[in-house]
Amino acid sequence: MTLKGFLHNRPRWHKSLLAGLGCSMVSRMLETLAPETTKRIDTLLAGMSVKDKIGQLLCPVAWDYDEVACDKLIDRTLRRVEQYGVGCVFLAGGSEEATVKLTSRLSQVSEVPIIVCADMENGAGGPVAGRMVFPAGMACGAANDPAHVETIGRAVAREGRALGVHWTLGPVSDLCLCPANPMTFTRTYGSRPEHVGRMATAYIGGVQRGGRMSATAKHFPGDGAEEREPHICAAVNALSPDEWMDTYGRVWRAVIDAGVMTIMVGHIALPFVDGEADTMGLPPATLSRKIQVDFLRDELGFEGLTICDAASMPGIAGYTDPVERCWRNVAAGTDVHLFAEPETDSDGALAAVRDGKLTEERLTEAARRVLELKARVGLFSDAPEAETTPEERTDWQNTAQTIADNSIVVARNVGGRLPVMLGAGAKVLTVTLLHTEGLRHGHVPDIPVVDEELRRRGISVRHEVNLFRDELRAIQGDYDAVFLNLCVRPRYGTTRMYGDMVMTLWKGYWREHPCVIFSSFGDPFKLQEIPYAPNWVMSFDDSEPSQRAMVKVWLGEMAAKGRCPVSLPGYFDAEV
């Protein structure tokens, strides 16, 4: 179907889509702001210069800061606010103390409040060390309880606001359709649109309840359909109009109907909407007015604020010159330019306005949405958020463990080796297979809580990482059980096994031992690369609660209660 034909049939798909999601035919969309708030925004806009309006759209990053680096970061950020009128700041990788110090200063430096955002997909502890971290999206999908996901949203809003953060860039609302996609996979809730829509809207409801924080559905028009990813190049969602509306369209309509305040536009092409390729290829949605305005706003009905995915990613940065990147992104329909470089972006946008390439009308529209978002999260009448209580933190920790306990899936158990009956005094070997490079945020994972839990039960544990095949084969006979644990997180470029991970598996040593247990802590799709594994237990992430839950399933202390949220043809099917 062509785009023209697709749009012509809009009443048909619009009705069936809402019915399929169980939504009312009248969308809740965004709540209307009070007249006095609108009047205040009008007054602020009337007093802004073109440069001021550009500044409201700029969102530079404050990355990997601690108490030592915090003062320099604060000075740099304040200079950007003073010189360029920066209206938004993105925080990542900081300590609690440094985060509070930075956000406190930001709250005092500008007549127009600065909105602070962060990636708190699975809790405030993602970007801020020491705060709450919940199991990943796919683990939540396997646990299959929207009420728990709503609790995550509420915890994000409480802890985030206590830290001075007003805006979380979550939930991930993509679908896990391609097992080899490295950008989203375990960050998603699963592969079925109805299920993902339920979970994403539950998170949004928890975050936005009370109007203290904004959620962000990401990454429009939908990642996870192919192996390429925007950290390397623009991804392409090549589904037909009908295929897209039956999959991603259901999720996007659900989050829009749920009143999500913001949507992140990804560096993802959508050929059936904008298939006008040039020598650089298809344009990413972040540079396509057809995708952002004609489709997302005019056809899908989104009225809130849009923010682009990080502007430093090659999915957009490789497509256009640095001096043009920001203004072209804004001209295409984006309201906030994430990972902005104000020193370049402000002057570039000013020149574009002067040359007639970017209209002041478009700037005013985007700046208005930024101010409206600030109003929606209470920044024009802001009061400090009380610190979280021990009771709240205990409740969240219990929720995290409940999610993990309900998420474990046994996909294969040939020979009935599970559960493993091990008493005090038993000896086990745990071997973690993991990537050591190219990881998101540079963090090399391991799963130490597994060993702690086994030892707590009186079991003797030897732990190794990517143990070479000959050494593993030589020592495995000394142990009552060998637990081979694949810990594969979302990473840059690929999820494929390679190098030391592969060498660990040579010679098929598990055929020579009576009890080798294969488990995935994260990527469940590695069964396709190790198809002869006699058993396969999946936890969908490597959080501490998931590690504890996995040990309980291994030892038969708890049944595997998860419902598989994804499919791997020939191996297992999605159950929710």
Q: Which two tokens stand for residue 476?
A: 């495995």
Q: Has residue 4 got a pLDDT over 90?
A: no
Q: What value does the mean pLDDT take over residues 232-261?
A: 96
DSSP element (H, E) containing 263: strand 262-265
Instruction: Give the number of other Cβ atoms within 10 Å of residue 331's Cβ.
Output: 20
Q: Is 248 exposed, middle or buried (0-12, 13-18, 19+ CB in 10 A)?
A: buried
CA distances from 271 to 37, 125, 282, 328 (A): 40, 37, 7, 19
Cβ distance 252 to 182 under 8 Å?
A: no
Q: Which two tokens stand for residue 514?
A: 């009576």
- The vertex-430 CA angle with 424 and 435, nearest 5°, equals 160
Q: How crowded is the C-beta side of 457, counted as CA atoms within 13 Å?
A: 20
10 pLDDT tier (thresholds 50, 70, 90): very low
Closest Cα to residue 269, out of 229, 212, 300? 229
Predicted confidence at residue 434, as pLDDT, reads 87
Residue-range domains of the chain with CATH: 33-381 (3.20.20.300), 408-554 (3.40.50.1700)
Q: Has residue 367 got a pLDDT over 50?
A: yes
19 pLDDT tier (thresholds 50, 70, 90): very low
251 pLDDT tier (thresholds 50, 70, 90): very high
Distance CA 498, CA 503 (A): 8
> pLDDT (tens digit, 9 = 90+) per residue, 404-430?
999 999 999 999 999 999 999 999 999
The amino acid at 109? V
Cβ distance 475 to 468 under 8 Å?
A: no
Q: What phi and psi values does residue 132 have, to the nearest 5 degrees? A: -70, 135
The amino acid at 426? A
Distance CA 311, CA 325 (A): 8
Predicted confidence at residue 26, as pLDDT, reads 32
The amino acid at 525? F
Q: Has residue 334 got a pLDDT over 60?
A: yes
Q: What value does the mean pLDDT take over residues 359-370?
A: 98
CA distances from 449 to 117, 397, 404, 445, 454 (A): 31, 15, 14, 12, 9
Q: What value does the mean pLDDT take over residues 374-393?
A: 90
Distance CA 535, CA 486 (A): 13
Instruction: Give the number of other Cβ atoms within 10 Å of residue 457's Cβ.
Output: 13
Q: How crowded is the C-beta side of 522, counted as CA atoms within 13 Å?
A: 22
Q: What is the distance between the terminal CA atoms of the chain, rounded to a whole angstrom?
A: 29
> pLDDT (tens digit, 9 = 90+) per residue, 270-303?
999 999 887 778 999 999 999 999 999 999 999 9
Q: How crowded is the C-beta side of 572, counted as CA atoms within 13 Å?
A: 24
438 pLDDT tier (thresholds 50, 70, 90): low
What percent of the chain has a predicted confidence (pLDDT) above 70? 93
Cα 158 from chain centre: 19
Distance CA 324, CA 320 (A): 7
Task: Calculate the average pLDDT of the chain.
Answer: 91
> pLDDT (tens digit, 9 = 90+) per residue, 192-228?
999 999 999 999 999 999 999 999 999 999 999 999 8
Distance CA 112, CA 183 (A): 35
Predicted confidence at residue 275, as pLDDT, reads 93
Predicted confidence at residue 492, as pLDDT, reads 74
pTM reported for the whole predicted model? 0.93
Closest Cα to residue 438, out of 163, 118, 183? 183
Q: Which two tokens stand for residue 491?
A: 């990473």
Give Cβ neighbours of residue 454 (< 8 Å, ≥ 6 apart): 428, 430, 461, 551
DSSP element (H, E) containing 328: helix 322-331
Distance CA 370, CA 306 (A): 9
Distance CA 357, CA 319 (A): 18
Q: Has residue 41 got a pLDDT over 90?
A: yes
Instruction: Give the number of other Cβ atoms within 10 Å of residue 380's Cβ.
Output: 16
Q: What phi and psi values does residue 433 have, to the nearest 5 degrees? A: -100, 120
